[in-house]
Amino acid sequence: MIDSHLRFDCHAKEVVRACNFHTHALRHVRTLLTDDLAQTAACSIVGSRLDYCNAMLYGAPAATFDVLQRAQNNLARVVCQQGGRTDARPLLRSLHWLPVKHQVTYKMAVLTFKTMSSSTPAYLNYLIQTAVPVCPLRSSDAPLLNVPRTRIEFVRQTFSVAAQHTWNSLPSDVRSCHTVDTFK
């Protein structure tokens, strides 16, 4: 669902509504499940809804991420059998779940790496341009990408800008990885 300002508020509300329904259902049967089974059920039923198409949310307003993060925090509390006022950050760490905003950045970085390493899909590879340094430097071993200059905020959310900005923000040792598994 896309709103007229492309902030994805409507999309986030619908995702949260579905997540809350399934989290509430999981809460009822949580005492009957083992910890591993509860985490697997939470990831497959609710976590997959939070993760689906979240790369589209790159550059979305913080309020959109806050709504989604509250749903993930609530899910973590249910899986860990904690009360509603418990701080969710340690729970997310113990479950090895990235916060929603970091998931979006991670997904964008992995997609950029796959596009650069395999040149597929071609329509995305066409949008990525490697920066050529003016003079050779030691730092030029790990390639940087050209980030096009834009004046419009919406354009900063497109793959051609967001992927290159995300890639350049990574440490050089991460950018110089050769396999997807090492990169991840």
Choose the final residue of a domain: 71, 97, 123: 97
Q: What is the 8-class DSSP label of residue 5? A: T
**Long-range Cβ pairs for the range 37-45 (8 Å, 24+):** 38/78, 38/79, 39/79, 39/95, 42/75, 42/78, 42/79
Q: Would you say residue 117 lies in a domain?
A: yes
The CA distance from 94 to 117, in Å, is: 32
131 and 168 both lie in a single domain: yes
The residue from 70, 97, 124 where one domain ends is: 97
Q: Which structural domain, as residue segments, surrounds residue 148?
A: 104-183
DSSP for 91-124, please give it: HHHHHT---HHHHHHHHHHHHHHHHHHH--SHHH
Q: Which residues contact 33 (CB under 8 A, 6 or more apart)?
A: 41
Domain count, the chain: 2
- 48 and 122 fall within a common domain: no
Out of 97, 130, 148, pick the residue that ends a domain.
Answer: 97
Residue 126 forms part of a structural domain:
yes
> What mean pLDDT value characterizes the chain?
88
Of the two residues 166 and 151, the one the predictor is more confident about is 166
CA 60 to chain centre: 12
pTM of the complete model: 0.84
Residues 26 and 47 occupy one common structural domain: yes
Structural domain includes residue 68: yes
Please say if the pLDDT value at position 3 is more than 90. Answer: no
Indicate whether 182 pLDDT > 90: yes
Q: Are residues 92 and 113 in the same domain?
A: no
Do 135 and 155 lie in one domain? The reply is yes
Residue 114 falls inside a structural domain? yes
Residue that wins the pLDDT comparison between 153 and 88: 88
Q: For the stretch 104-127, what's the b/e string if a residue is b when 16 or more beta carbons lie within 10 angstroms of its beta carbon?
A: bbebbbebbbbbbeeeeeeebeee
Asked if residue 80 and residue 21 are part of one domain, the reply reads yes
Quick one: CA dihedral 60, 64, 68, 69, positive or negative? positive
